[in-house]
């Protein structure tokens, strides 16, 4: 395990699922973390779990991922309270529509693009200006295999993740050599967010993967922290698929 002692991360959407798993992995490796989310009770519980001894290893910032005032406040709070900002993990995402893209409500599509793509750019711009440009670091964006494979009832979500994959590559060129920017593209990970893809049918979904199981937050956390670490110091602009050998995604 790469030692993250002295390193600080900001993880958006970090109170449950993939985001919380990443925050846990960073803290387990000695780092400190700021997690963001909208619900105060989830934030409070996440911080208690991440930092049970109240040692200043975890803080939280409440707000909507696409709210620029929240973004500014979270980044400022992270630097002021934890002293630095080495890593940004853009994990927050929404998917208010499930069904054929041809029938999608355009308001829902706009919300998906705003949160899953535009806000990622905004978070990254602000982290760059506040710390990363002068001090270096790494960014990991949480994409999806849905951004690489068409079909299924998550077309609008997949469209946003396809844009995020492109944005990852574009920013990796613009932010080099100070900052590396990569993404991961998970298939179905067993989280509350993805429950519509496996609830009531978990065995069949799991059997569609070569590894015969769904992904876990721990799986994605270990890959993410590798990409954040110096062990990945010559990797940038990449989107790493993590899908148990292939499946329905």
Looking at residue 152, what is its pLDDT?
86
pLDDT at 247 over 60: no
Residues 6+ apart with CB under 8 A from 23: 9, 11, 14, 33, 35, 46, 50, 58
Look up tokens 């009832």; give the residue: 153
Q: What is the pLDDT of residues 33-75, one digit of tens each?
A: 999 999 999 999 999 999 999 999 999 999 999 999 999 999 9
Q: How far apart are CA 130 and CA 180, in angstroms?
A: 16
Paired tokens of 170: 């574009």
Q: How far apart are CA 161 and CA 181, in angstroms?
A: 15
pLDDT at 1 over 80: no
Q: For the chain, which residues make up each domain, given as ranges?
A: 8-242
Match domain 8-242 to its CATH number in 3.30.930.10, 3.40.50.300, 3.40.50.720, 1.10.3430.10. Answer: 3.40.50.720
Looking at residue 196, what is its pLDDT?
67
Alpha helix stretches (DSSP H) within the chain: 17-28, 40-50, 68-82, 106-113, 119-127, 133-135, 155-175, 202-207, 217-228
Alpha helix stretches (DSSP H) within 176-240: 202-207, 217-228
Q: Are 65 and 87 in contact (CB under 8 A)?
A: no
Q: What is the pLDDT of residues 71-98, one digit of tens each?
A: 999 999 999 999 999 999 999 999 999 9
pLDDT at 240 over 60: yes
Q: What is the pLDDT of residues 152-199, one digit of tens each?
A: 899 999 999 999 999 999 999 999 999 999 999 999 888 867 776 777
pLDDT at 200 over 90: no
Catalytic residue numbers, as ranges: 157
Question: 180: part of which helix (H) or strand (E)?
Answer: strand 179-186
Q: What is the pLDDT of residues 9-29, one digit of tens each?
A: 999 999 999 999 999 999 999
Which H, E and C letters describe 52-90, residue by residue? CCCCCCEEEEECCCCCHHHHHHHHHHHHHHHCCCCEEEE
Looking at residue 248, what is its pLDDT?
45
């Amino acid at each position: 395990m790469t030692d993250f002692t002295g390193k600080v991360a900001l993880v958006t959407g970090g109170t449950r699922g993939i985001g919380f798993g990443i925050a846990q992995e960073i803290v387990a490796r000695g780092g400190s973390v700021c997690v963001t989310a909208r619900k105060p009770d989830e934030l409070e519980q996440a911080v208690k779990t991440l930092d049970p001894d109240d040692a200043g290893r975890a803080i939280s910032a409440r707000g909507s991922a696409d709210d620029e005032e929240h973004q500014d406040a979270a980044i400022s709070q992270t630097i002021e309270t934890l002293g630095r900002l080495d890593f940004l993990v853009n994990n927050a995402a929404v998917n208010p529509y499930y069904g054929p893209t041809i029938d999608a409500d355009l308001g829902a599509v706009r919300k998906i693009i705003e949160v899953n793509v535009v806000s990622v750019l905004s978070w990254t711009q602000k982290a760059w200006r506040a710390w990363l440009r002068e001090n270096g670091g790494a960014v990991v964006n949480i994409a999806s295999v849905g951004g690489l494979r068409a079909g299924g009832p998550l077309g609008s979500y997949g469209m946003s993740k396809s844009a995020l994959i492109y944005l990852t590559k574009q920013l990796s060129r613009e932010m080099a050599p100070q900052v590396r920017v990569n993404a991961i593209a998970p298939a179905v990970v067993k989280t509350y967010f993805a429950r519509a893809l496996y609830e009531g049918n978990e065995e069949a979904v799991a059997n569609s993967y070569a590894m015969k199981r769904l992904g876990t937050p721990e799986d994605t956390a270990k890959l993410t922290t590798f990409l954040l670490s110096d062990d990945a110091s010559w990797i940038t602009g990449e989107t790493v698929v993590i899908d148990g050998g292939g499946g329905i995604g």
